[in-house]
Structure 1
Amino acid sequence: MKKILLGAAALAAIAAPAFAADMPPRPYTKAPAYTAPQVVYNWTGFYVGGHVGGAFAGGNSLQSNDARFLGGVQAGFDYQFAPNWVLGAEAQYSWLSSGGNNGTVFPGGTVVTSNNDQLGSVTGRLGYTWGPALLYAKGGYGWRDGNNLGVSVAGVPAGFTTNGNRKDGYTVGGGLEYMFAPNWSAKAEYQYYNFGSTTFTSGPADITGRSFRDDEHTAKVGVNYRFGWGGPAASRY
């Protein structure tokens, strides 16, 4: 029995290397490459924010052509679709400094002063987005505080009448907005306001019949806080 066991052990020792040599090699499996998550930006949602900038009256205007400081607030809603287009609506209100307007002097010595210190708008806007950037155009209703007029001769107030609304008009503009952090975006924007024209229908002779355009050019930078949807909305793997 002992001889049989010793013989079996010896046979196993001889056969083991040969059996191992006949086994196929273990296949090599490469580790999958790491793919960074893709950030998806979504502009859909409500937002509120503030802005600062400057306002400049157009040519042939009674308002001072000097730059005036403006600052204000805005609020709106955007909807992203198709998938890189953004449609929205925005309400905006701005306060303006006086700009040191001392009045316009006419050939007969009549002085006309004009000052408006508020601008507002309700606009639609349409934009195209790629990643965190949004390029947009806007347009709609424009409003101001009435461009208060004053007429005087040799320092004495003079009576006058005008036509033209001076308060209601239209506005168009465009800008670039950028999401710089979750829920936060910054923008740079140009906006033009047109309120028609004002014509003096009566008053001192050197101003009667004269017409002046009522418009404003503005340039603004601002920041918006976007509720819930601003910034990275999801990650795709």
Structure 2
Amino acid sequence: MRFLTHKETRFVDANIFILGFGAMKSARRVSAVTFNGLACAGVLAACAVSGAAHAGNLEQVPVDPVVVVAAPTWQGFYVGGTAGYAFGADDRVGHKNPAGVLVTRRAGDLDGEGFNYGVQLGWRGERALSRGSFVYGIELGYNGGDVDDSFVNGGYTGSVDLNHVLGLRAKTGLTNQSGNTMVYGILGYVHGDFDYAVNGTAGGDTINLNTAYDTDGYSIGLGVEHLLSDSWSVKAEWEYYNFGSKTLFDAGGSSTVATPTYSNVQLGLNFRF
């Protein structure tokens, strides 16, 4: 067994010191890294807790609900009323004797005009288009009022009074893009009831006619209607009436030919149900 010399002992002690000092430095580095890591973790945790606390205090911003507005519709049944004025009538009154010979070509003119009122019941269908809608329907109407005229001319007198008109009309039209206004056309069958009188003497013949008669005809027209709400609408119309011609005889066989025509403008209000 060999013992270390004094010089060798000092060398070993120096190496042990160096190794120990290095171990202490490594330990301090590890401690510093560990401390720094823990510090960063602590800061992050604090930030997370603070953020969560602030997030818990945020108020939610209210969002308005999306409101879907239904498109206007014309579909369905409706009832309504009108007020109008008739004008532009043209009925030239002549006179034939019982043999059918023309005695007087123009005894006078009966150009009936005046205020009138009406009621109607109708139905409409509707088809959507790329812009607006195509609307079609049928309407049953009644018109009455004070549409009349009279004349006194060269020994003749005459008068006409329109009592009422019944009409069955087809109406078709197009709406604007928003669907609340419609422009339409009118084509209808009309049946009129009249009081008619012609009295006078010419060419050796006297006509003494005072009668009531009814006759069929047609109507054409244009209109515009605007929706005030889902149920109510207002309209304005122009309509031309033509009742054709009808030969009227008095008791003795003398005759005249009635040819009533006139135009009518009216405002109306409809209720859809």
Query: Aligned to 1:120, which of 154, 166, 184?
Result: 166
Partner of 2:208: 159
Partner of 1:91: 140
Partner of 1:75: 121
Query: Aligned to 1:13, which of 32, 35, 39?
Result: 39
**How much has 1:149 moved relative to structure 2?**
1.3
CA RMSD of aligned residues (A): 3.8
**How much has 1:14 moved relative to structure 2?**
2.7
Whether the 8 Å CA contact 2:84–2:115 is kept in 1: the answer is yes
Among all aligned residue pairs of Structure 1 and Structure 2, give the percentage whose two residues are the same amino acid: 28
Q: TM-score, normalised by structure 2?
A: 0.62
Q: Does residue 104 of structure 1 match 2:147?
A: no
Between the aligned partners of 2:250 and 2:146, the Cα distance in structure 1 is 29
Between the aligned partners of 2:191 and 2:230, the Cα distance in structure 1 is 33
Q: TM-score, normalised by structure 1?
A: 0.70
| Structure 2 counterpart of 1:136, one-letter code | Y
Counting matched residue pairs gives 204
Partner of 2:221: 173
**How much has 1:138 moved relative to structure 2?**
1.3
CA deviations on 1:69-113 (whole Å, 9 max, x unpaired) are 1111011000001441111000111112155x3x22233x02111
Superposition pairs of residues 1-237 of structure 1, within 5 angstroms: 11-15=37-41, 37-61=68-92, 65=111, 67-83=113-129, 84-99=133-148, 101=149, 103-107=150-154, 109-130=155-176, 131-145=179-193, 147-153=194-200, 158-160=207-209, 167-199=215-247, 211-227=257-273
Return the structure number with greater helix share: 2
1:181 is paired with a residue whose SS is: coil
Q: Higher relative CO (CA 8 A, sep ≥ 6), structure 1 or 2? A: 1
**How much has 1:61 moved relative to structure 2?**
4.9
Q: Which has the larger radius of gyration?
A: 2
Whether the 8 Å CA contact 2:85–2:116 is kept in 1: the answer is yes
1:42 is paired with a residue whose SS is: coil
1:12 is paired with a residue whose SS is: helix
Distance 1:61 1:152, change over 3 A: closer
- Structure 1: give runs of 5+ residues left out of the alignment: 1-6, 22-30, 228-237
